[in-house]
Amino acid sequence: MTRVCRLTPAGRGAIAVVEVTGADAVRLVDSWFGGAHPLTTAPINAIRFGSWRRPHADTPGEELVAVRTATDRVEVHCHGGVAAAAAIVASLVSDGAVETKPSPASLADELQDALANAPTERVAGVLLDQVNGSLDAALRSLISLLDAGDATQAGALIDDLLSRERLGRRLTQPWRIVIAGAPNVGKSSLVNALVGFDRAIVYDLPGTTRDVVTATTAVSGWPVTLADTAGVRATDNVIEAAGVELARATLRSADIVVVVREAAAFASPEALELRDSLLAEATVNAAVIEVASKADLNPRSDSIPSEVIATDAPNGIGVDRLLATIERAIGVGDPPHGVAVIVGRWRYERLRSIRRHLLDGEIATAAAAAPALLAPELL
């Protein structure tokens, strides 16, 4: 069987690398590679320039480089991004090759990669500690405790690691904050005030935002993605209705929901009903922050409860209080120096399953599942 595998991650990058392996790999690549000489006769590790097309095809192909790295292995280096590599994979698959996933990186590579992509200094600080060995040490001691059959100590260590999950999950993905409410209440104005520049279009006509517009920023050094959604209302307009459906769907993945109601109609039955219907979409774990917008236009503020944040976004009023409230809702601090924080969503799932095995008295199963936490290639 010939296997084709994209070695570089999809997305940004100047080049992408596709590896083809198997007894027929070099011949198969040659059937697409329009180089001056066939790869079958190229020395191992010699770089060959060519283009990706059927030989004798009259349209020019994608310019690229190919290297025969072993008798049964070829690397094709093409333009970065998604399209070029996908086209190469697709052409080989159409000739019978099977697409496979690259084997997972080692923990050290994974941590280096996360550190290189850290969006803020605060996140980088936590990751640097892990790169310097905190996580490796904790996982090694967990594996030894399980091997020694010490369920009590192992359980305590797992609980300790899981206690920092709220932070750990966000070292590679920002917190998701969704701004929702009725049309024209000032959601986009609020997003712009929070990010400090005009990311979203603001206009005095309900239904201005039709898509989910996101902006990534940091709150007290933690990365957050703000999602500005379409104002939610019943509408006959197909495009607006799609935006409303998208707004509701976005709420389902929110860590923090900011529900905006205009101060002047804050306690109106319609506003309350919409607030409840929006919150019904969010998960039970999502934090909820309520905003009374356009507070400047509201002559009397006694209908606004004190925990609600009154804003006048175009003038920046209430924005600091909103940021402070978001920071509290994020609710994590810097772990002490040298403390392990688990990186990688799947590790949390695995740790929880190891914990369950321990609770069920299945220590051998727990011990067998632990080494992969340190060496993902065992998965």
Q: Which of 183, 223, 344, 376 binds ligand GTP (CB under 6 A)?
A: 183
- Residue with Cβ nearer ligand GTP (264 or 368): 264
Q: Which of 71, 203, 267, 364 binds ligand GTP (CB under 6 A)?
A: 203
Does position 298 bind ligand GTP by CB under 6 A?
A: no
Q: What is the DSSP string of 219-269?
A: ETTEEEEEEE-PPP---S-HHHHHHHHHHHHHHTT-SEEEEEEEGGGTT-H
Does position 235 bind ligand GTP by CB under 6 A?
A: no
Give the Cβ contact number of residue 318 at 10 Å: 22
Q: What share of the chain is helix, strand, coil (3-state, %, to 5)?
A: 40, 20, 40
116 phi and psi angles, rounded to 5 deg: -65, -30
Does position 107 bind ligand GTP by CB under 6 A?
A: no
Q: Which of 91, 188, 217, 298 binds Mg ion (CB under 5 A)?
A: 188
- Residue with Cβ nearer ligand GTP (231 or 344): 231
Least distance (Å) from ligand GTP to the CB of residue 205? Answer: 7
167 interface partner picked from ligand GTP, Mg ion, none, CB below 5 to 8 A per type: none
313 interface partner picked from ligand GTP, Mg ion, none, CB below 5 to 8 A per type: ligand GTP
The three-class DSSP label of residue 55 is coil
d(CA 232, CA 257): 14
d(CA 346, CA 187): 34
Does position 75 bind ligand GTP by CB under 6 A?
A: no
Is residue 361 classed exposed, middle or buried when 0-12, 13-18 and 19+ CB atoms within 10 A define those classes? exposed
297 interface partner picked from ligand GTP, Mg ion, none, CB below 5 to 8 A per type: ligand GTP
E strand or H helix at 356: helix 345-359
Q: H helices within 48-120, ranges in order? A: 83-94, 107-116
Does position 174 bind ligand GTP by CB under 6 A?
A: no
- Residue with Cβ nearer Mg ion (208 or 225): 208
**CB-CB contact of 184 with 205 (8 Å):** yes
| Contact letters for Mg ion, residues 199-238 (x by CB under 5 A) | ---------xx-----------------------------
- Of 257, 270, 264, nearest to 187 (Cα)? 257
Q: Which segment (47-55, 80-88, 201-209, 339-347) binds ligand GTP by CB under 6 A? A: 201-209
- Residue with Cβ nearer ligand GTP (1 or 297): 297
217 interface partner picked from ligand GTP, Mg ion, none, CB below 5 to 8 A per type: none
Least distance (Å) from ligand GTP to the CB of residue 301? Answer: 13
Q: Which of 88, 313, 342, 354 binds ligand GTP (CB under 6 A)?
A: 313
370 phi and psi angles, rounded to 5 deg: -75, -40
Number of H helices, E strands in the chain: 14, 12
Q: Which segment (143-151, 158-166, 185-193, 277-285) binds Mg ion by CB under 5 A? A: 185-193
Does position 2 bind ligand GTP by CB under 6 A?
A: no
Segments of the chain assigned E as strands? 3-6, 15-21, 47-52, 62-70, 73-79, 98-100, 175-181, 213-219, 222-228, 256-262, 287-293, 309-310
C-alpha of 240 from chain center: 27
Does position 250 bind ligand GTP by CB under 6 A?
A: no
Residues in touch with Mg ion (CB under 5 A): 187-188, 208-209
Contact set with ligand GTP (CB under 6 A): 183-189, 202-204, 206-209, 230-231, 293-294, 296-297, 311-314
